[in-house]
Structure 1
């Protein structure tokens, strides 16, 4: 190969090609030779059989005469003549009564190929020829037996086979070398020359050099390839400047958010890092992380384009509200960051943050409707809280998260205890993962009564977590954790199973009129196995489906309206009661009440507070009761704590109530006993009055 035009990579490719061609040729030669050897073995086997039959035919007449005369000497001479054939190991003439007239034999021949030939042809082949009596000697009949030693023919077979294999390999290798030479001449060498010319092309201006078409290849595929490559090089050179401009534009886009056109997280980090490096000992900055409250529900309430429109408008408000010395960017889907420089006192950052939160509260007009968005912010200070980019941004986000967990639409400065709070929250999530297995979860039951006659109509199941170190953990804290980690599925299944089991025990004790209400989370409602789970429990505990009531909140329904509608319709078809919980606290409209098969609506306890004096709550409760009745649903009020509240609700037409006025949540063993002792209640269904 031409060392000037070749490279190690090209030489290696040729060597690989040679190896592959030789290997394939050898394999093919061996395969074809083996086929020939197989044919040769078959022909040799046929020749052995033919040879044996010919010898039998040759001695048939003299052997028959010797047999007819019972002439041992003649028979022995015949057999001695047969033994002149080297491949005959033994011969015999036997009478009909199995007695031998004559016999001769010799040892097996010694051959170094015998192990192979014996496996192919068998060591000895036996040939027989029967002879019948005739009119001259009616009692003379018998047979001639020959034993052939196959080693003689086998040796010749092995020698021929070796010759066949060697000739086949030589032929295949010769053909492979010829093909490799042809391939190298017609393709490899022209390609090497093309590669040599390619290495000389200037990458900045590829169109100025053209590849030469190899001689003799002007009209074939190689020539076509070279012509196409030259056109491509020319096109690359022509559009090189456009590519540079596109790269610059991509670089700009990589630094800005595509939707709001604000700097993205990466640009924020770079800018903050530059400010930190330039800062002296007297400089101070504030990093503000601002996140929208419940943006997920907002995204569900609106369509995707409308939600993006809200983000764009919020970004415009931020731009218009901050000055040029304030750097603004977008951290994520619903989070923004503000870098405030030259902060003399922390209150300056607080004032800016408060003004931004107030700016967010101004309503938007989306689809001819007024929409209000709130936000929560976390603030961290440089250099007091940290002196590097990642730490400052992380601490600002931590402060925002803790502010949201305590209350929304507010701001909070970063303090050292936030790290501890975050770590404690993570540990609590890990403990919750094992709470069910460690039997730390329990159920309590709160009664539900008819406002009309004071009869016990149902029981709501409530879950409690008794942490071994922290004591009783509020469901408002651990239920969202369980939903986020998907632990709510096994926990929810355990609640369903335990509540149904308890209901069956009460029914067996004579309390047949109780209805068990159980809360379903959004994750459970989206679980494809929830319907089968309920069917299993109904079959297992054998109580009427109308004794089971499942409660879902309207915000959970809005997580995925179509799936919720499908699941609720399937549950309703089982005959169970469906309840819409916390009505009026979410974003849903009256249209949802018509889309879903609810039997009952629950008024949130926040609307019951202050009745009957609180006029706004009084009007809201009255409206919810009328709406529920207009849709043919039973209305239940939560949080009833006084006789005045019950009378007010009864006057408005509320059918059922639940709260401390009727009874606190109690464990199962104390629930019935407590209700039985209540003087205000006329009776418990299914039991005789005492």
Structure 2
């Protein structure tokens, strides 16, 4: 059996471009590099001396057009092609070539084929001028030194292995990545040296490379003293030597980069859960498996209740930490066979194969709700965030990823309407509700242009004298296709779609224009209360719209009262504070709407300068039968008056409520006891007649 020394081994290795500098320093021998098309890609100083062509003249030219005699061209082209395509090497030999002037040049030419980082083959020719034997001997000596230097500069490991997997020789520029010392692997079979799983992989590919006579590449990992290390092994069978050449490269950094890219592509960066792409891909796989086994897959669409309030009021950092903790709870509450993923925002998905009956699914859903009822402790804060959960089960609720996801989402919205902190199974009736939502949204998009909106007005009264002191503007919508659509239905949709901004501008302009007419006709100073939504505060034109509407209606700012819910204030955004300060400086009155329904209303009363506090109808409704509600309203009025605020009680429907509010010192009231909201002309008639009667 032929043997191969370390320098012949290099001729089978991969040469990186940085090694060209080693050849650049040599002018005693010619080193040329050719690509797969036989064009010159490297031409050192030694080549210039021997053949007379400068590097600039040679680069890009084909070898047969430079130094190959015409009678050798066909042979050279064929031999090069056979090496590139079939792996048939060109043997080293003494040949006669031509220089630039056409003169013969006797050289000893050896060749090596490399594969660069782009998996392209490159042939390098090392030619020694044989006219000076002494010089040739010196060049041979230099070549050995040069190849030794290259070995030392190359980080790869090189091994020669017998067909029975015995390791016969090696070279390593550094022993850092050797699994064992040379004394423990030279002369030993791979199975005696490496872990069983790695050795098995080696033996598999050794058999392949011998059988198929083609190079193979595979990856494996080893635990070394400096940590887990990933390797790429490239093996090739050398039939003339009956040996396997193995080049091993450390790819740990590339592996880490690949894993990082994979992590970003398939996993949520915040929670480390599978992202939307990976979650839906797994759902697709589960559905295929379930179809083969005649089983089902349960899809749970989960949404954190009121997460936006937490995120907006406490900041995104707290919100992110809450999402991380929520993800941990979901993982702990589910089985190993389940997939918990994050779809985006505060939306999660749970995929559960093999839940065979409805009761099993209910147990899972109830367990999830239960673990979220426990407070979260984030940066010294105790937060209670519940869960709404929608369930869709294949194949009854869909057999495709899109159908199941959509239906689980629909069921989740149903859970929201049940009061949140609940779960709901998808039913076909829910599709009707979703279709209705889509219809409302579609019709709303051009409702302003079609003049379908109308502002109604509900009068407000002095609690003591019962004189009309102002009104609240309330939007109504009648659509020819859908009929009358209640604000509770279309306002949330307008808020979510952003249509609330132009609609809100319409209400401001319409109500102030009406207020101007009302004051002129009845010669009295009234106040118009208009609701502002959270989305409107994001509109940079809000202050400009209000100023222009006041100017157009010829009204002073103190005749406009903007009702702001606690939900607006909870966002905690700087633009909210800036807008409130600008409105206050403008002279517009500010009213806190729905006071008492949130957990931090008092802090907002201290933080912002309000003029009016509006007690929510839910408390007014109970003051005649519930001492707690009466005490709460009493305390609210006392707090407001101590801060210099006026109090409006909404939802007054019976005289007993009015009497109690009078006794408690409430300033203003409104409600069905006096009047329902009315269109403009009817409102004018009502207030004119009411004033005359009183």
For the criterion TM > 0.5, the same-fold answer is yes
Find out whether 1:523 has 2:531 as its counterpart.
no
Find out whether 1:440 has 2:446 as its counterpart.
no
Find out whether 1:536 has 2:536 as its counterpart.
no
- Of the three residues 273, 277, 282, the one matched with 1:266 is 277
Counterpart mapping for 1:10-409 below 5 A: 185-187=54-56, 189-190=58-59, 200-203=114-117, 234=154, 240-248=251-259, 250-251=261-262, 254-279=265-290, 280=292, 282-405=294-417, 407-409=419-421
Distance 1:528 1:325, change over 3 A: closer
Write 1 or 2 for the structure with the bigger share of strand. 2
Alpha carbons 1:516, 1:548 under 8 Å: kept: yes
For the residue of structure 2 that corresponds to 1:453, the secondary structure is coil
Larger radius of gyration: 1
Distance 1:647 1:393, change over 3 A: same
> What displacement does 1:265 show?
2.8
Distance 1:419 1:190, change over 3 A: same
For the residue of structure 2 that corresponds to 1:606, the secondary structure is helix
Distance 1:332 1:188, change over 3 A: farther
Equivalents in 1 of 2:447, 2:289: separation in Å? 51
Q: Deviations over 1:632-657 (max 9, x none)?
A: 11111111111221222222222111
Distance 1:325 1:514, change over 3 A: same
Alpha carbons 2:40, 2:62 under 8 Å: kept: no
Counterpart mapping for 1:425-464 below 5 A: 425-464=437-476
For the residue of structure 1 that corresponds to 2:634, the secondary structure is helix
Find out whether 1:605 has 2:617 as its counterpart.
yes
Alpha carbons 1:555, 1:587 under 8 Å: kept: no
Equivalents in 2 of 1:384, 1:355: separation in Å? 23
Alpha carbons 1:449, 1:455 under 8 Å: kept: yes
Alpha carbons 2:313, 2:572 under 8 Å: kept: no
> What displacement does 1:461 show?
0.6
Equivalents in 2 of 1:191, 1:212: separation in Å? 18
Query: Normalization by structure 2: what TM-score?
Result: 0.64
1:545 alignment partner in structure 2: 557
Equivalents in 2 of 1:514, 1:629: separation in Å? 22
Alpha carbons 2:653, 2:671 under 8 Å: kept: yes
Equivalents in 2 of 1:490, 1:188: separation in Å? 71
Equivalents in 1 of 2:616, 2:124: separation in Å? 80
Alpha carbons 1:286, 1:339 under 8 Å: kept: yes
For the residue of structure 2 that corresponds to 1:435, the secondary structure is coil
Equivalents in 2 of 1:380, 1:518: separation in Å? 42
Alpha carbons 1:526, 1:567 under 8 Å: kept: no
1:473 alignment partner in structure 2: 485
Distance 1:651 1:246, change over 3 A: same
- Of the three residues 515, 520, 538, the one matched with 1:508 is 520
> What displacement does 1:356 show?
1.3
Equivalents in 2 of 1:554, 1:9: separation in Å? 77
Equivalents in 1 of 2:645, 2:60: separation in Å? 83
Distance 1:7 1:327, change over 3 A: closer
CA RMSD, Structure 1 to Structure 2 (Å): 3.8
Alpha carbons 2:302, 2:348 under 8 Å: kept: yes
2:135 alignment partner in structure 1: none
Alpha carbons 2:33, 2:123 under 8 Å: kept: no
> What displacement does 1:448 show?
0.8
Equivalents in 1 of 2:408, 2:527: separation in Å? 48
Equivalents in 1 of 2:57, 2:485: separation in Å? 77
> What displacement does 1:376 show?
0.9
Equivalents in 1 of 2:577, 2:389: separation in Å? 36
1:616 alignment partner in structure 2: 628
Equivalents in 2 of 1:302, 1:286: separation in Å? 34
Higher relative contact order (CA 8 A, sep 6+): 1
Write 1 or 2 for the structure with the bigger share of helix. 1
Alpha carbons 1:565, 1:595 under 8 Å: kept: no
Distance 1:570 1:234, change over 3 A: farther
Equivalents in 2 of 1:200, 1:341: separation in Å? 51
Equivalents in 1 of 2:322, 2:565: separation in Å? 26
Equivalents in 2 of 1:332, 1:526: separation in Å? 22
Equivalents in 2 of 1:363, 1:621: separation in Å? 29
Distance 1:592 1:316, change over 3 A: same
Moved over 6 A (4+): 6-12, 191-194, 196-199, 208-213, 235-238
Q: Deviations over 1:635-689 (max 9, x none)?
A: 11111111221222222222111111121111121213334555xxxxx4xxx66
> What displacement does 1:484 show?
2.6
Question: How many residue pairs get matched?
Answer: 496
> What displacement does 1:210 show?
9.5
Equivalents in 1 of 2:33, 2:319: separation in Å? 65
Query: Normalization by structure 1: what TM-score?
Result: 0.65
Alpha carbons 1:482, 1:488 under 8 Å: kept: yes
> What displacement does 1:500 show?
1.4
> What displacement does 1:405 show?
4.5
